[in-house]
């Protein structure tokens, strides 16, 4: 596990002493390790090795079942559309919550606990949330629920007040670098800074050529927009706003662009002010061109705006098309910018 070690150690040690809450709220940005910590906590509770260790031994049958999502006492509740991409179930439904509750009412089959992981809890439909409240008010004695979400503010206050909050923090680049080096060799260290505190991003960049290529394409999209006129920019905004019928997936597509672009703009703004601490040294050429074409003040404004819009996309139901049109109007213009492939 990269990062969150202190959180996990504290949780694990308490769990070993029998100090386990019935419900937790694991919150923090995507790819920061929420699902991994939930899995480790489940392993801590269900591990059959002696002496028991915080995080589980990782090798006993119970630990391996949890890892492979085949343990009968661990249930993952998630949007059906994520399991069946052709389906149209965009929220976690009340039926899913009821099924989970029936399960939870029974005694554990193999271990001492029944564990439910809800990911992303902000996807619970209104009815599902109200139904879940019943379980939180009177949880079965062997029940442990973990509600995972990057946007805890979207949960009902009555739900949140019954959860033990576990806020996740961004992980230091050095710690990510070391984790990558251990797993993939020293070459992989270079993905640590790019991940901006999120180990999940670093891991997928280090392990997956497709993730790297996708990222390059998203970055090039930014530079291409900056060098194109309003007609093309508006066409791009409409395309992206209408690209995906599933609102959440579309917002994720917008959010990831805004996040990456804000980092590109921040690099340019920092370079324009003489700082030499690029998050994306591999884009030094494009950064230099931006600095030449756009005023330092504009670059700072752009980096801040992109980051603010990104938070708007996550936290509120903004109108995607309006936001993207505003974005293309605010993007600086640098006709001469050349993008490396
Ligand atoms: Zn184990």
Instruction: Name every residue whose Cβ is closer than 8 Å to that of residue 324 and which is 6 or more positions away in sequence.
Output: 236, 237, 238, 240, 241, 254
Distance (angstroms) between ligand 1 centre and the Cα of 183 equals 21
pLDDT beyond 70 at 222: yes
Rounded distance from Cα 101 to ligand 1 centre (Å):
26
What's the 6 CA to ligand 1 centre distance in angstroms? 20
> Domain extents for the chain?
5-167, 171-207, 211-330
CA–CA distance, 264 with 256 (Å, rounded to integer): 13
Calpha distance 91→101 (Å, rounded): 17
Domains 5-167 and 211-330 share a fold: no
211-330 is classed CATH 1.10.1660 = no
User: Can you read off the two tokens belonging to residue 253?
Assistant: 């597509």
- Centre of ligand 1 to C-alpha 25, Å, is 24
DSSP for 37-100 reads HHHHHHHHHH---SS--TT--S-SHHHHHHHTT--TTEEEE--HHHH-TTS---SB-HHHHHHH
Query: 340 versus 28: which is more confidently predicted?
Result: 28
CATH top-level class for 5-167?
alpha beta
pLDDT digit string, tens, across residues 141-162: 999 999 999 989 989 999 999 9
Whole-model pTM: value is 0.84
pLDDT in tens, 256-275: 899 999 999 999 999 999 88
Query: Ligand 1 centre from 120 Cα, in Å?
Result: 26
- Alpha carbon of 51 to ligand 1 centroid (Å): 10
In this structure, the strands spanning 164-167 and 23-27 are parallel
Do the Cβ atoms of 15 and 114 come closer than 8 Å?
Answer: no
Range scoring the smallest mean pLDDT among 125-129, 232-236, 242-246: 242-246
What is the 43 CA–ligand 1 centroid distance (Å)?
A: 6
Per residue in 70-118, pLDDT (tens digit) is 999 999 999 877 666 555 567 899 999 999 999 999 999 998 999 999 9
Exposure b/e, 243-256, CB count within 10 A at least 16 = b: eeeeebebbebbbb
User: Cα dist. 97→24, 134, 157 in Å?
Assistant: 17, 11, 18
b/e map of 114-152 (b: 16 or more CB within 10 Å)?
bbbbbbbbbbbbeebbebbeebbeebbebbbbbbbbbbb
């Amino acid at each position: 596990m990269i990062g969150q070690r202190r959180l996990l150690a504290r949780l694990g040690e308490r769990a070993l002493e029998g100090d386990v809450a019935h419900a937790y709220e694991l919150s923090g940005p995507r790819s920061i390790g929420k699902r991994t910590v939930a899995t480790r906590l489940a392993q801590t509770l269900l591990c059959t090795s002696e002496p028991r260790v915080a995080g589980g031994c990782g090798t006993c049958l119970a630990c391996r079942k949890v890892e492979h999502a085949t343990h009968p006492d661990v249930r993952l509740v998630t949007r059906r559309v994520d399991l069946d991409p052709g389906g149209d179930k965009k929220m976690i439904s009340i039926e899913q919550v009821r099924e989970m509750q029936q399960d939870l009412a029974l005694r554990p089959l193999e271990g001492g606990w029944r564990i439910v992981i809800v990911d992303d809890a902000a996807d619970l439909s209104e009815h599902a949330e109200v139904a879940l409240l019943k379980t939180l008010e009177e949880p079965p004695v062997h029940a442990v629920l973990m509600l995972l979400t990057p946007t805890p503010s979207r949960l009902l206050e009555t739900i949140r007040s019954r959860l033990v909050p576990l806020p996740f923090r961004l992980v230091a680049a050095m710690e990510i670098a070391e984790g990558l080096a251990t797993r993939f060799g020293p070459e992989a260290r270079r993905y640590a800074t790019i991940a901006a505190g999120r180990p999940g991003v670093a891991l997928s960049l280090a392990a997956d050529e497709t993730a790297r290529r996708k990222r390059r394409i998203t970055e090039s999209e930014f530079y291409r927009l900056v060098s194109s006129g309003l007609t093309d920019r508006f066409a791009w905004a409409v395309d992206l706003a209408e690209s995906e019928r599933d609102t959440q997936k579309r917002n994720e597509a917008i959010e990831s662009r805004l996040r990456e672009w804000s980092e590109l703009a921040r690099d340019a703004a920092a370079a324009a002010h003489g700082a030499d601490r690029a998050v994306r040294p591999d884009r030094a050429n494009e950064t230099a061109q931006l600095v030449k074409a756009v005023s330092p003040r504009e670059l700072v404004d752009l980096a801040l705006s992109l980051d603010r819009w990104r938070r708007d996309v996550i936290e509120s139901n903004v109108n995607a098309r309006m936001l993207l049109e505003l974005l293309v109007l605010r993007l600086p213009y640098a006709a001469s910018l050349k993008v490396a492939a």
